[in-house]
Amino acid sequence: MDTLPTAPVRRRITRSLLVGALLAVATHAHGAPPDYLGDKVVRLVPQSFGQLRLALTLADDVWSHGATVGQPLDLRVDDESLRSMQRAGLPVEILINDVGALIADEKARLDTPSDGGIAGDLAWFADFKTYDQINAKLQEFVIARPDLCTVTTIGQSLENRPIKAIRISSAPPGSPGILFNACQHAREWISPMTAMYIANQLVDTASTDPAIMDILDSAEIWIIPISNPDGYQYSWDVNRLWRKNRRNNGNGTFGVDLNRNWDYQWGGAGASTNPADETYRGPFAFSEPETQVLRDFYLAHQNLVANIDFHSYGQLVLSPWGYTVDPAPNTAFMEGVGQAMADAIFDVHQFTYTAGPIGPTLYLASGSSVDWAYGNQGVFSYTIELRDTGQFGFILPAAQIIPTGEEIYEAIKVLSVETLKPIAISLMNGVPSLVAPGSTTIDIETLNLAGEALAPGATLWWRDAADEPFTASPITNVGPGTWSATLPSPICGSSLSWYIEFATTMGNATLPADAPASTLSTDVFETDTAFADDFESNLGWTVGAAGDNATAGLWVRVDPNGTSAQPENDTTVAGTMCFVTGQGAVGAADGAADVDGGTTTLVSPVLDCSDPESIVQYDRWYSNNLGATPNTDSMPIQISNNGGSSWVQLELVTENAGTWVTKSFRVADVVAPTANVRVRFVARDLGSGSLVEAGVDGFRVLSLGCPELLGDLNGDGSISASDLAILLGAWGTSGPGDLDVSGTVDAADLALLLGAWTG
Ligand code: 0X9
Ligand code: ZN
């Protein structure tokens, strides 16, 4: 077995270098309050570590706080810094032309308060509000609904400002709790406004919206709108772009980043040791009164189940971990709820919020509140980065306060419903869209929340016609939180509706949550294999396409040598061969024989997909930087119905699975089915510092159908009295029912039908 030359081990961005670069990004500590006039916010996507380092060195302030090669980075710069960047050839795009002018406009507007033409109690949300105005508003909620609201001072800031929390609930004390906290970062003014909007709407609709009544009757909702009062006040009075608290660091600099000061993996990646930096972690974990107060609030409320920590900007719904790219426990549940929140947000004003775990989605940040809340307290904790995506950044127009509140209000309902349920139910392999006649095993996972899943009463309910009652199929417990069920699928061509039901210590729970009003659906079909390739011999695949420029790790058909990035085994039972991007050497480094320097394309032979129900199916492997900083690389898989003249995307693989994944696509869903189809796999290494390994095996073209059942005249998949009625109704004619094709429906046909019926 030959071994390809070992690829050079890539340089990865090290955080210590990055922190070094951030040293230059000093905060204003002395002199006149900064007015930022003429400052710009620029965006650039650093193409190399050198560019990233240079940009951070030249910038005056990092707005996006993301600092990764290949990811957009927003930086505030004065004219001189901008010129230096341009001279150095950094590809910057101007996002905001004059930060100071935006701030001045905002100040002028705030100096002459107006209700913005907004009627009713939402007029308060016409513009941003000060620390004092927010506290006063909290008292108004209590006056409006003393039965529902309590405001408490949960502690003091460094400069002795009260940190206030409002409890909104009609549930008994000690019921499950959900905490929304905002404004750990002072300049992110939309965050306290959004927290206040949530409070306002809960109070307003507590007696009218049944969904809210359910939540408030069963849970304690806690809202801490201003977690960093000193910083917030300072951002109004002195420096609009202040982020941290107001700790005097003793060396002429001020402020600790509260969201780097929590005692969970404190001092790890993405936090600075330099007191001048915007991400300064503080001298030790929980060194700051503000984080201590919030910590003690958690410790005093052991009933808390969920939390959102509001920030801006970026439009992101982030789940733990922030300190590592490794997945957090119960990641399927956490990310599922995060995505459901993002979907609910989108439905309101069609603003896209990207959901995902913090580390891989944004950048590493250690010592954050959500990591502590999840890691130390087991609270399902999310960071939401509110509007916008950089057009105005922290100086968001006031007109966006209410729309932001409206979309986030839907997200908090989703979070509440999903985390207050007795248990969460998920399907380990998703909902099968297609199964063969017979039966299919369904693997189920449960996560105990307020209740505990019980084995007796666990049932999969199914039916294959809307007018039938559901039939029970038992679910068996196979391990802690893992279950197995059988989904019967007796009739080819039918469509199954089904759902899952568990009895729990807190009542019943179903998947979907509102079953049987909604159900899961699965179609039953037989598949015919039109083409199958296990790659044991070459059935006509070629490597190479116009524009391919990878210098190493080209597609090759081999019995793979496993590395941590590349598979050790192919997927097909018979044989050992598959296509991978470069053969790995036994025992070699992860980076050995991955794709380097560009793209490499694997193209299929021509495939006959003229059957309108053709399905393309393959097993694919994709790994991208296992365990290291992820990047923008991805593997497009494309299909052509004209022999390769033009291509349409089947899927863009970005998931760092590092395992074989089977995928199926109905050709007609993507392109018109023809006899001249090709499929290609484009593995590419575009960003630096990445490690891309791909594989393909078990390639098949299937067609769907059901064998014709002799005598099934109404095509319902079985023979019954209604088929008999059709035959008798056509007696003596040429059909339907002329089963022996004699030209007349007669006794011979009747005998065939009855034989099929009883046989
Ligand atoms: O960096 C932060 O603290 C947050 N972004 S911001 O721009 N608002 O400062 C993101 C925090 C996400 N949480 C973790 N990374 N743990
Ligand atoms: Zn923030």
3-state secondary structure 241-277: CCCCCCCECCCCCECCCHHHCCCCCCCCCCCECCCCC
**Least confident residue range of 257-266, 281-290, 555-564, 725-734:** 555-564
Same domain, 614 and 482: no
Q: Is the CB of 318 under 6 A from ligand 1?
A: yes
Residue where a domain stops, chosen among 470, 502, 524:
524
Is 8 among the domain residues? no
720: Cα separation from own chain's centroid: 48
Averaged pLDDT score across all residues of the chain: 89
pLDDT of 66 reads 67
The answer to whether residue 15 scores a pLDDT higher than 60 is no
Tokens for 133, please give them: 């105005």
For 223, residues 6+ apart whose C-beta sits below 8 A from its C-beta are 165, 166, 168, 179, 180, 181, 182, 195, 196, 198, 199
The answer to whether residue 355 scores a pLDDT higher than 80 is yes
Is residue 601 a contact partner of residue 549, using CB atoms and an 8 Å limit?
no
Residues 302-334 pLDDT 10s: 999 999 999 999 999 999 999 998 889 988 899
Question: Which SS3 state, helix, strand or coil, does residue 311 take?
Answer: strand
**Least confident residue range of 278-292, 482-496, 661-675, 698-712:** 698-712
The answer to whether residue 27 scores a pLDDT higher than 50 is no
The answer to whether residue 2 scores a pLDDT higher than 80 is no
Q: How is 317-372 classified by DSSP, letter by letter?
A: EEES-SS-SSPPTTHHHHHHHHHHHHHHHHHHH----EEEEHHHHS----S-HHHH
pLDDT of 528 reads 83
Can you tell me the distance from the alpha carbon of 492 to that of 558, in angstroms, rounded to the nearest whole number?
A: 38
pLDDT of 12 reads 33
Residue where a domain stops, chosen among 524, 556, 589:
524
Give the pLDDT mean for 184-196.
98
Residues 337-353 pLDDT 10s: 999 999 999 999 999 99
Is residue 365 a contact partner of residue 358, using CB atoms and an 8 Å limit?
yes
Is 591 among the domain residues? yes
**Least confident residue range of 25-34, 520-529, 551-560, 750-759:** 25-34
The answer to whether residue 271 scores a pLDDT higher than 90 is yes
Best of 41, 259, 262 for a ligand 1 pocket test (most atoms within 8 Å of beta carbon):
259
pLDDT of 703 reads 86
The answer to whether residue 299 scores a pLDDT higher than 90 is yes
Q: Is the CB of 369 under 6 A from ligand 1?
A: no
Give the pLDDT mean for 505-525.
93
Same domain, 296 and 438: no
Same domain, 238 and 376: yes
pLDDT of 585 reads 67
Residues 197-223 pLDDT 10s: 999 999 999 999 999 999 999 999 999
pLDDT band at residue 632 using 50, 70 and 90 as cut-offs? low
Question: For a pLDDT cut of 90, what percent of the chain falls above it?
Answer: 68
Is 685 among the domain residues? yes
pLDDT band at residue 17 using 50, 70 and 90 as cut-offs? very low
User: How many whole angstroms from 269 Cα to the centroid of ligand 1?
Assistant: 12
The answer to whether residue 256 scores a pLDDT higher than 90 is yes
Same domain, 278 and 160: yes
Is residue 540 a contact partner of residue 547, using CB atoms and an 8 Å limit?
no
The answer to whether residue 3 scores a pLDDT higher than 70 is no
Q: Dihedrals φ, ψ of 607, to 5°?
A: -120, 135
Q: How is 683-752 classified by DSSP, letter by letter?
A: EE--SSS--EEEEEEEEEEEEEE-PPPTT-TT-SSS--HHHHHHHHHTTTSS-S--TT-SSS--HHHHHH
Cα separations (Å) of 549 from 277, 324, 552, 565? 41, 33, 9, 21
pLDDT band at residue 736 using 50, 70 and 90 as cut-offs? confident
Tokens for 729, please give them: 């109704």
pLDDT: which is higher, 477 or 581: 477
The answer to whether residue 113 scores a pLDDT higher than 90 is no
Same domain, 353 and 224: yes
The upper half-sphere exposure of residue 121, i.e. CA atoms within 13 Å in the direction of its Cβ, equals 13
Q: How far separated are the first and last CA of the chain, in Å rounded?
A: 56
The answer to whether residue 225 scores a pLDDT higher than 60 is yes
Same domain, 602 and 730: no
Cα angle 183, 187, 193; round to 5: 50
pLDDT of 627 reads 39
Is residue 190 a contact partner of residue 313, using CB atoms and an 8 Å limit?
yes
Question: Which SS3 state, helix, strand or coil, does residue 153 take?
Answer: strand
Residue type, position 450, single letter: A
Q: Provide the residue range defining the domain that includes 753.
A: 721-758
Can you tell me the distance from the alpha carbon of 713 to that of 727, in angstroms, rounded to the nearest whole number?
A: 8
Segment of 23-32, 363-372, 623-632 carrying the highest mean pLDDT: 363-372
Is residue 423 a contact partner of residue 451, using CB atoms and an 8 Å limit?
yes
pLDDT band at residue 14 using 50, 70 and 90 as cut-offs? very low
User: Exposure string (b/e) for 433-444, b if CB count within 10 Å is 16 or more?
Assistant: ebbebeebebeb
User: How many whole angstroms from 153 Cα to the centroid of ligand 2?
Assistant: 23
Nearest atom of ligand 1 to the alpha carbon of 311? 8
Is 575 among the domain residues? yes
Q: Is the CB of 383 under 6 A from ligand 1?
A: yes
Can you tell me the distance from the alpha carbon of 742 to that of 356, in angstroms, rounded to the nearest whole number?
A: 65
In angstroms and rounded to an integer, the radius of gyration of the C-alpha atoms of the chain is 31
Q: Is the CB of 243 under 6 A from ligand 1?
A: no
Sign for the pseudo-dihedral over CA of 406, 407, 411, 414: positive
Give the pLDDT mean for 707-721.
82
User: How many whole angstroms from 59 Cα to the centroid of ligand 1?
Assistant: 19
Is the peptide bond between 360 and the residue preceding it cis, with omega within 30 degrees of 0? no
Residues 128-164 pLDDT 10s: 999 999 999 999 999 999 999 999 999 999 999 999 9
pLDDT of 717 reads 73
Same domain, 351 and 395: yes
SS in 3 state form for 538-556? Answer: CCCCEECCCCCCCCECCEE
Residue type, position 601, single letter: T
Can you tell me the distance from the alpha carbon of 434 to that of 296, in angstroms, rounded to the nearest whole number?
A: 51
- Whether the pTM exceeds 0.85: the reply is no
Pick the ligand that lies closest to the CA of residue 262.
Answer: 1
- Domain with 458 in it: what CATH number? 2.60.40.10
pLDDT band at residue 6 using 50, 70 and 90 as cut-offs? very low
Give the pLDDT mean for 418-442.
91
User: How many whole angstroms from 446 Cα to the centroid of ligand 1?
Assistant: 30
Best of 71, 76, 184, 185 for a ligand 1 pocket test (most atoms within 8 Å of beta carbon):
185
Q: Is the CB of 368 under 6 A from ligand 1?
A: yes
Can you tell me the distance from the alpha carbon of 253 to that of 726, in angstroms, rounded to the nearest whole number?
A: 90
pLDDT of 450 reads 85
Residue located nearest, by CA, to atom 2 of ligand 1: 259
SS in 3 state form for 441-505? Answer: EEEEEEEECCCCEEEEEEEEEEECCCCCCCEEEEEEEEECCEEEEEEEECCCCCEEEEEEEEEEE
Nearest atom of ligand 1 to the alpha carbon of 365? 15
Is 715 among the domain residues? no
pLDDT of 16 reads 36
**DSSP state letter for 670:** T
Nearest atom of ligand 1 to the alpha carbon of 358? 15
Q: Is the CB of 371 under 6 A from ligand 1?
A: yes
Helix (H) or strand (E) holding 290: helix 289-300
Same domain, 235 and 298: yes
For 409, residues 6+ apart whose C-beta sits below 8 A from its C-beta are 197, 198, 201
Q: Is the CB of 421 under 6 A from ligand 1?
A: no
Same domain, 363 and 406: yes
Question: Which SS3 state, helix, strand or coil, does residue 47 take?
Answer: coil
The answer to whether residue 686 scores a pLDDT higher than 80 is no
Is residue 381 a contact partner of residue 306, using CB atoms and an 8 Å limit?
yes
Is 542 among the domain residues? yes
User: How many whole angstroms from 436 Cα to the centroid of ligand 2?
Assistant: 50
Query: Domain tally for the chain?
Result: 5
**DSSP state letter for 6:** P
Pick the ligand that lies closest to the CA of residue 368.
Answer: 1
The answer to whether residue 5 scores a pLDDT higher than 70 is no
Same domain, 519 and 643: no
Best of 325, 381, 385, 387 for a ligand 1 pocket test (most atoms within 8 Å of beta carbon):
385
Pick the ligand that lies closest to the CA of residue 393.
Answer: 1
Report H helices in 602-692.
none
Residues recognised as catalytic: 385
pLDDT band at residue 586 using 50, 70 and 90 as cut-offs? low
The answer to whether residue 263 scores a pLDDT higher than 90 is yes
Is 114 among the domain residues? no
pLDDT of 19 reads 38
**DSSP state letter for 515:** T
Residue where a domain stops, chosen among 509, 524, 539:
524
Pick the ligand that lies closest to the CA of residue 370.
Answer: 1
pLDDT band at residue 4 using 50, 70 and 90 as cut-offs? very low
Same domain, 130 and 154: yes
Residues 645-676 pLDDT 10s: 999 999 988 776 678 888 888 899 999 999 99
Same domain, 343 and 468: no
Q: For ligand 2, a single-atom ion, which residues have Cβ within 5 Å?
A: 185, 188, 311
For 705, residues 6+ apart whose C-beta sits below 8 A from its C-beta are 525, 526, 528, 613
Is 543 among the domain residues? yes
The answer to whether residue 418 scores a pLDDT higher than 50 is yes
For 283, residues 6+ apart whose C-beta sits below 8 A from its C-beta are none
Can you tell me the distance from the alpha carbon of 34 to that of 57, in angstroms, rounded to the nearest whole number?
A: 20
